[in-house]
Structure 1
Amino acid sequence: MFYSRDHQLHDFSGDDAYRSWLINRNQAPIVHHSGDMHWKRLLVAARHAVNHVRGFCAALRVALVADKMRRAHRDLAQHGIRIPTPCRNDRSAT
C-alpha cells in the first residue's frame, strides 16, 4: 500500500574497498612549479583575458547601437517624424 524506497538504498559494501584503493594507490606527487602547471595557469589567464575582451566588445557594441538609435531618432524628429520610444520598466528612473 505504501511506497517503499528500500530497493533504492545505497549499497555501502564496496565503499571500503574503494577507500582502501584510494589510500594505497601510487599517485604521482603534485608539483606546482612544473611546466604543466605553468601552462595551465597561462591558459586560464588567456581564457580570462579573452572573456574580458569579449565583454568589452559586447558593451561597446551595445553603446554604439544605442548611440546610433538616438541619433536616428533625433534626425527623424528634426524632420517632424516622431517615433514613440518603447517604455522599459526594468530601468529605474534616476
Structure 2
Amino acid sequence: MATNKTALLLAVLCLFLVSEIGMLMVEAQVQRPDCGPKCASRCSKSWKPEMCLQTCTACCNTCEGCVPAGPTASKEVCRCYAKYKKGRCP
C-alpha cells in the first residue's frame, strides 16, 4: 500500500515538473525580440537591403534585440553587436 502511494506521489510530481518545463519553454518563445522594425531602420540606406536585413535579423536575435538605432549609429552602442568583426553585423 505504501509503495502505491509513493508511486502515485512520484507520478504527480513528475507531471507537475513536465508542465512547468512546458510553461517555461512557451514563455521563452513569447519573449523573442522584435527585430523587424529595428533592422528596417538600420538597413534603410543599405545598397543591398535584403542581405542587410537577413544579417541584421540574425545579429539582433543573437544579441537579444539590441541593434544600433538608425543607419549611421555606432556599433559600440550594443556590446554584443560590436564584438562581431569584418562586417558580419551591419
Classify the TM-score, shorter chain: 0.3 to 0.5
TM-score (norm. length: structure 1): 0.43
Give the number of the structure whose alpha-carbon radius of gyration is greater: 1
TM-score (norm. length: structure 2): 0.45
Greater relative contact order, per chain length (Cα 8 Å cut-off, separation 6+)? 2
